[in-house]
Amino acid sequence: MSKENPKNGYQAYNAIETNKGVLLFSRTDVGFKLFHDYMGLFMDNLYNQQCNNTYFNLHYIESDKPALRDKCDVALKFPEKHLPLAIPIKDECYTDRGVLRDSLEVKVNGWEPTPEQIQRITDYVDGVHIPVRGDTFNISSLQEMASGVSYNRVLLSGAMSDFKYEKEFLELAKQVERCSDVEQAGKHNREMKTLASDILKRDFPDIRTMPELPVKKRLANDYGKYDHLRKDGPDFYNAIETDNGVLLFSRTAEGKELFQKTLESYLDNFYNPAYNYTCFNLHYLECDNGTLRGMCDLSIKFPKIQLDEFPPAESFFVNKDVLKYSLQEASFSWKPELHTLSNLMNDTWDGKHLPMKPDGDTYHIGVLKEISSMEFYYFTSLSSLAGHDILGIDPMPAFRYKDDFRELADKAINFSGHIREYDVLNGIRDKADEILKRDFPDIRKELKTSKKENLSMVQVPQKKKGMGL
């Protein structure tokens, strides 16, 4: 979570952000201990109904504001009120989210009570692994067993000594290990799943679960036609999905503006080899239980994390699990070819064409590649290259190379149907190729794979089964 060379002392802070506010900790010895104690407290109570947060974000903050010193390590300053630590955490321990504007790093987490979410949250933070123990460890292990995850090898290795129900499952694991009959082994595994389900119902009947939100009707995929069905406000979201994850934007005025700026940045970098994604999908989401509020508009909430407009900081991407709330999706290819770019430019989202700067690299490269291919999809035509305006309007005011092509394009039009036309067209094509090589030598290119590659020789590593913690 932390920056590469973080500060310590009272000019730097760790913070836990939930929907209830921010817990702030100094980066002193006592502050570090309290920070990790609180993370352990939250994790120990993941399934506790009183620990009903909707998200759990971790921050690293640098600030020399004296006011922050008064807001940190509250439990240590008033031990008679707040120690030992307990759930629910009292309101006076939380401070306002305004302190997060100085955040230099954020690790964005949901707070779903599932083994998968435990795995994401318990990544190393400041070099310390958040402990998974007690009921959280027992319940999450039982949940995985009940879902069919095999714990046999882990049980037989002796690594499950902290599991409260180790003895009850160990004998079944031994039977599976000794079994040579496939049907009998399947029977023992089903017994293990049933046993885990029964223990969950018997010993943990009141654990916190994710509320099952009513299934909302998906909007028609003809997204440009049904923009008016989308709603605005803090519980409605636009999202950009790429290979890296999901960027989430609220459908507030600020969120919509940020969404449009981010779209523009992606289109301006369409030919940038650093952004060689395979997908670029847009989504509309509805989630009215507050789960996504801490995951959206992150570059507005934490402006110090990212000084440059693009690319988005990796910590701003959230897990693709949020797309379960998606009601509408627009799927775009991200191949660096003219058909793809013209599709991006011609389609709309929220009633607007996807934004691209008229004088940016994508525009210039797109025009030059069209000229080079002599297949005019969207950007240009011979008459526009020749400068034949309509009603006094310049058809290509932002194209910086129009003077390089004006005379050649005019000749091509005049030679239309003449044998010399092809010589002139070849000259136009050569000019476009020359400019591309000179001014844009490192643009992203479509990967060409050889035919009939021997894919059967590639072995996909099997996912290891086990505790997943």
* Residue-wise pLDDT tens digits, 175-190: 988 888 888 988 999 9
Task: Scan for tokens 């460890």, then name that residue.
Answer: 137
The pLDDT value given to residue 373:
87
Instruction: Determine the angle formed by the axes of helices 166-178 and 182-203, rounding to 10 degrees.
Output: 170
The pLDDT value given to residue 457:
33
For residues 281 and 236, is the Cβ–Cβ distance under 8 A? Answer: no
The pLDDT value given to residue 396:
80
For residues 236 and 278, is the Cβ–Cβ distance under 8 A? Answer: no
For residues 58 and 16, is the Cβ–Cβ distance under 8 A? Answer: yes
Under the banding of pLDDT at 50, 70 and 90, the label for residue 464 is: very low
Burial code (b: 16+ CB inside 10 Å, e: under 16) for 42-58 equals: bbbbbbbeebbbbbbbb
- Neighbouring residues of 101: CB distance < 8 A, sequence distance ≥ 6: 301, 302, 303, 304
Which among 55, 54, 67, 123 is positioned nearest to 96, based on CA atoms? 67
Least confident window among 27-41, 77-91, 218-232, 236-250: 218-232
The pLDDT value given to residue 31:
96
Mean pLDDT for the chain? Answer: 86
Task: Scan for tokens 């991006």, then name that residue.
Answer: 344
Q: What tens digit of pLDDT does each residue of 188-216 get?
A: 999 999 999 999 999 999 999 887 666 67
The pLDDT value given to residue 237:
96
Residue 456 has pLDDT above 60, yes or no: no
The pLDDT value given to residue 294:
92
The pLDDT value given to residue 448:
56
Backbone angles phi, psi at 423, to 5 degrees: -65, -40
**For the residues 13-27, what does the mean pLDDT come to?**
96
Q: What tens digit of pLDDT does each residue of 265-283 get?
A: 999 999 998 888 888 999 9
Residue 232 has pLDDT above 90, yes or no: yes
Taken as a whole, the chain contains a residue count of 469
**For the residues 304-322, what does the mean pLDDT come to?**
85
Least confident window among 55-69, 196-210, 452-466: 452-466
Which among 221, 317, 304 is positioned nearest to 262, based on CA atoms? 317
CA distance 119 to 63: 31
The pLDDT value given to residue 222:
66
Percent residues over pLDDT 70 in the chain? 89
For residues 338 and 369, is the Cβ–Cβ distance under 8 A? Answer: yes
pTM of the model: 0.83
Higher pLDDT, 228 or 420: 420
Domain boundaries along the sequence of the chain: 9-121, 134-203, 227-353, 361-439
